[in-house]
Amino acid sequence: MSAKLCSISELAHEIPGLAASGEGRLTALRKAVGDRGAPAALGVRRRPVSRREKPSVITTIPEPRHPEPVRLSPQEAKALPLGCRYFDRAWYMKTYVDVRQSNMDPSLHFRKIGWKEGRNPNPYFDIRDYLAANPDVEAAGINPFEHFVFYGSADRRRLKPE
């Protein structure tokens, strides 16, 4: 006794004055489904549940684990040049001539585009090296320099892979 799956357009033709979009349309379509099979897009599942049936066990697929980041020793962290924590506007403009020629603010360029292109914020911090040393940051898709400034330096994250 499988119910025939009906399409959204078939349901829509059965409802006079159905709104073209919005929550009211969705509610009316869900109500019109009744006991029939419905497209997954409506978020409706009709299935009789036996009282004797045991609830199914919900299993979750664990997210892939990233290796634990290798931390700097306190001495290594203190030995990092102070300049690695700051954006160097003059160096950025001198190094990336196209940014200087575009008349775009260098820090804005770096935050919006530069880090995605693998450009470095100063001569001490290498984007590619930091991502290689911290694959969890790369997987998160966030700006590695900002991660280092706000979290990585306090966490004593390595700037380069070992």
Closest CA to 71 of 28, 134, 27, 7: 134
Tell me, what's the pLDDT at 91? 94
Note the pTM of the prediction, 2 decimals.
Answer: 0.55
Q: Where do the structural domains in the chain lie, given as residue ranges?
A: 1-51, 74-152
Over the range 61-70, which residues count as b (16 or more CB within 10 Å of their CB) and which as e? eeeeeeeebe
Question: Where do runs of H (alpha helix) occur along the chain?
Answer: 8-14, 23-33, 74-79, 89-95, 97-102, 106-109, 127-133, 135-140, 144-147
Q: Residues 148, 115: contact at Cβ < 8 Å?
A: no
Can you give the pLDDT at residue 131? 92
Question: Which pLDDT belongs to residue 2?
Answer: 47
- Which pLDDT value is given to residue 59? 52
Question: Tens digit of pLDDT per residue, the chain (162 long)?
Answer: 445 556 667 767 777 777 777 777 777 777 777 666 655 555 555 555 555 555 555 555 555 555 666 677 778 777 777 777 899 999 999 999 999 999 899 999 999 999 999 999 999 999 999 999 999 888 888 999 999 888 888 888 888 887
